[in-house]
Amino acid sequence: MAKANSQVQGIAVQIFGEEYLIAERDAVKVQKIASYVDEKMREIDEQHPGRIPASKLAVLAAMTIADELLNALGEQNRLAETAQENLQRLTELVDARASMVTERVEDLSASRRRWREEERQPDYSTVE
């Protein structure tokens, strides 16, 4: 029985002048991530040219990226809460409108029943 080749090929990326072989199926994604990490390391290096070893630059870049991630997650949570609040308000408005429509339909049905009853009753008034 032949087995499908499910091994992930390594993708070579350059980060701060070093080549890394990353095991991942999505080469485009890996390149974007590597470019982003490289960019963060270079930004920090530009602020302190040649004074911070690459290993420490990597840690500082990781801290910067983690800070960005936590800020983004916080913003995502705030947006989700706002969306939930808006959804709750809209649901309440829809429920209120539905109640108003139901009441109006019931009023119209009652009026129609009264009108039909009045139509069925004979008119005993005398015409003089």
Of the two residues 113 and 62, the one the predictor is more confident about is: 62
pTM above 0.85, yes or no: no
**Nearest Cα residue to 37 out of 10, 72, 70, 66:** 66
Average pLDDT, the chain: 91
Residue 2: per-residue pLDDT: 41
pLDDT at 121: 73
User: How far apart (Å, rounded) are the C-alpha atoms in residues 38 and 99?
Assistant: 59
User: What pLDDT, on the 0 to 100 scale, is given for residue 5?
Assistant: 47
* Structural contact between residues 16 and 42, judged by C-beta atoms closer than 8 angstroms: yes
User: How close are the terminal C-alpha atoms of the chain, in Å?
Assistant: 107
For residue 128, pLDDT over 50 is answered with yes
Q: Which residue has the tokens 């308000």?
A: 89
The DSSP symbol for 1 reads: -
pLDDT in tens, 2-61: 444 456 679 999 999 999 999 999 999 999 999 999 999 999 999 999 899 999 999 999
Taken in order 92, 93, 95, 100, is the CA torsion positive or negative? positive
- Segments making up each domain of the chain, as ranges: 10-119
| DSSP string across 42-61 | HHHHHHSTTTS-HHHHHHHH
| Distance (Å, whole) CA 22 – CA 30 | 8
